Structures are given as C-alpha cells and as structure tokens.
C-alpha cells in the first residue's frame, strides 16, 4: 500500500495482504484497519470507529453503506486507496466527520455543511420542537431565526410550517451562502435570507416568534480546545468572558421585533438557564421557561411578551 507523504496510515494487521506495495487491498481489510486506526486516535468505541470508517469509505468511493457491507471482498485500486488514505488522514487529524462528508442530518433534513457554519447538533432539535409547539400548523406567521448558520433551524421550521414567512439572518456571508444552497436543494423557497448582525438589518420588522442558537461558549472554556469545536467558526461559538454576550443582545433587542404575545426561544449553555431567565424577565418577557435536552441538561429557554397571544 502506498501511503501519501505525511499521511498517518492505520497500522495493518498481519496476514491481510496490507503493506505489499502493489497488492490490492480488499474492502474488508481496509475497513478493519481504518476502524482500528480511528478507534485508537480518536478514543472511540469500536462500533463508533467502524461507523466512521464505513462513512468515510462510502464517501471516498461514492457508494452507500449497504454496498460496502455487501462487497467486502472488493479489491481497492491504488487510486482508490490513495483517496481513502487522504480522507482517513483528515479524520485522524481531528477534522469533524460533518466537514469531511460535507453533510449532517438535523431534524428530518439532510443539510450541507462547510467549515463556514456550526455543525448542527441534536440538542438544537429541542429548539425546533419548542418553536413548532407554539405555531399552529396552517396559520400564516412571521418567524425569525437569528444566526442561522447552515439554516438548520429555519429550514426545519420551514418544512413543518409551510404557511410561515421565515426570515433567517447571519452576519457571515459565507454561512448565508451555505444556508441558501440548503434551502434551494430542499425546495424550501419560503425562507428569506438576510445578511445582518442580529437585528441590524431588520429595522421596523416585527415577528410572531424569534428563535436563536447563538454563540454561548465562554472565551476561555477548555471545551473549545477539544474535538469538533476546534474546527468550527469561532464567531458561532464564542460569546465573551461569560458566554452570554450574544444572548444579552438578542434578548434586549427582541421586544422591539416581536408582536405583543410573541415568543423568543433561545438555546444556551447547560449552566446558563438561570442567567437567561433573568435576562428574559428583565426585558419584560412572561411565561419564562427552560427545557432540558436529551442529556438532561437545561438547554432552551424562552418567554412571551405580554399582550394578545400571537401564533
């Protein structure tokens, strides 16, 4: 097997026919060695490492997992081996699977992602659910997603509330390009994308519901030095010394952009529920609540402006 310079090849096991220079490797041999390499380098379980090896290999070969499983005696051509080694080296270097594969599943959508956007996370699905609960299925309403990134939240809402007029903003033009492309590919044309630093480009606009998964990690949080987040855009993660800088701006600005009775729903850090609730109450929100994610951590808080219920 020819390894590209600087590539960390997984250590081949004896008797697999690996390391023979020109000897073609079977898919089974490759998957087993790649699994071992990933497991050791990334501290994964064997099962997680095997899944990653299959996803990387399927991506590199342009085939799906069922094909891989059914063809494990397939002999890899040297060019295929080189391509797969390059993909594996990226992952062994810590690059997130979502950026290597260029996609991530979120809610019931498959989203394209690039390093210009935060990788959508399962806990953010809670925010989508909390918003959907407050929006009647057929009622026209105006929704705002602040800091849309890949468009995950706006597009999940768009799919389930086809009558809604949805505005999604981001201050990153690169992120908006990713979100727009996702909207087009998913056929969700009723989302308007606007380049805006929070509310800056939305003067005079009023919504029934505002959602945001803003940056909320404190600048010196050691979590920023580990795993996928090292590769994600800092402006989507970091929010001042206490991680609340963006949440403060969003909460303070929300009343001017909500109808009476309109909701603001926010994702936040596991230790920011109390602070978020205090900010919401101070800005005049009522019915302030917090929801916990699947890990049992307080993750989404929100409140309603006084007045007639909107949506």
- Nearest approach in angstroms of CB 243 to ligand GLN is 8
Gyration radius of the chain's alpha carbons: 23
Cα–Cα distance measured from residue 263 to residue 189, given in angstroms and rounded to the nearest whole number: 24
Our CB check for ligand GLN shows the closer of 53 and 266 to be: 266
Our CB check for ligand GLN shows the closer of 60 and 215 to be: 215
Asked if 216 interacts with ligand GLN (CB under 6 A), we say yes
One residue of 3, 165, 217, 275 binding ligand GLN per CB under 6 A: 217
Residues 6+ apart with CB under 8 A from 131: 143, 153, 157, 209, 211, 263, 265
Asked if 171 interacts with ligand GLN (CB under 6 A), we say no
Asked if 229 interacts with ligand GLN (CB under 6 A), we say yes
Long-range CB contacts (within 8 A, 24+) of 19-24: 22/78, 24/75, 24/76, 24/77, 24/78
Cα–Cα distance measured from residue 222 to residue 249, given in angstroms and rounded to the nearest whole number: 24
272-284 CB burial, b ≥16 within 10 A, e <16: bbebbbebbeebe
Q: Segment contacting ligand GLN (CB under 6 A): 42-50, 51-59, 62-70, 213-221?
A: 213-221
247, 184 contact by CB (below 8 A): no
Our CB check for ligand GLN shows the closer of 70 and 297 to be: 297
Q: Segment contacting ligand GLN (CB under 6 A): 41-49, 86-94, 181-189, 214-222?
A: 214-222
Tokens at 72, concatenated: 């494990």
Size of the site for ligand GLN (CB under 6 A): 8
Say which DSSP state 248 is in.
H
Per-residue x/- track, 105-124, ligand GLN (CB under 6 A): ----------------x---
Asked if 213 interacts with ligand GLN (CB under 6 A), we say yes
Q: Which residues are at the interface with ligand GLN (CB under 6 A)?
A: 121, 213, 215-217, 223, 229, 237
């Amino acid at each position: 097997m020819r390894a590209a310079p600087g590539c960390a090849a997984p250590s081949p096991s004896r008797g697999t026919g690996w390391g023979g220079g020109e000897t073609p490797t079977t898919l089974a041999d490759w998957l087993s060695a790649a699994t071992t390499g990933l497991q050791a380098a990334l501290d994964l379980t064997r099962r997680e490492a095997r899944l990653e090896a299959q996803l990387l290999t399927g991506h590199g070969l342009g085939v799906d997992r069922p094909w891989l499983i059914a063809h494990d005696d397939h002999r890899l051509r040297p060019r295929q081996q080189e391509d797969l080694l390059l993909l594996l080296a990226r992952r062994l270097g810590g690059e997130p699977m979502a950026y290597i594969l260029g996609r991530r599943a979120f809610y019931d959508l498959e989203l394209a992602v690039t390093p210009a956007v935060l990788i959508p996370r399962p806990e953010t699905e809670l925010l989508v659910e909390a918003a959907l609960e407050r929006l009647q299925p057929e009622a026209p309403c105006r929704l705002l997603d602040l800091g849309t990134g890949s468009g995950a939240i706006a597009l999940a809402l768009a799919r389930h509330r086809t009558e809604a007029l949805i505005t999604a903003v981001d201050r990153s033009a690169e992120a908006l390009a990713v979100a727009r492309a996702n909207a087009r590919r998913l056929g969700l044309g009723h989302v308007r994308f606007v380049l805006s630093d929070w509310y800056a480009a939305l003067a005079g606009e009023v919504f029934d519901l505002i959602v945001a998964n803003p940056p909320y990690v404190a600048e010196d949080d050691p979590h920023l030095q580990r795993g996928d987040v090292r590769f994600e855009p800092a402006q989507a993660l970091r929010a001042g010394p206490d991680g609340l800088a963006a949440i403060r701006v969003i909460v303070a600005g929300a009343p001017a952009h909500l109808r009476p009775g309109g909701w603001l729903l926010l994702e936040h850090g596991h230790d920011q529920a109390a602070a978020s609730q205090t900010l919401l109450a101070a800005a005049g929100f009522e019915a302030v609540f917090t929801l916990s994610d699947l890990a049992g951590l307080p993750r989404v808080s929100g409140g309603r402006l006084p007045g007639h219920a909107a949506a």
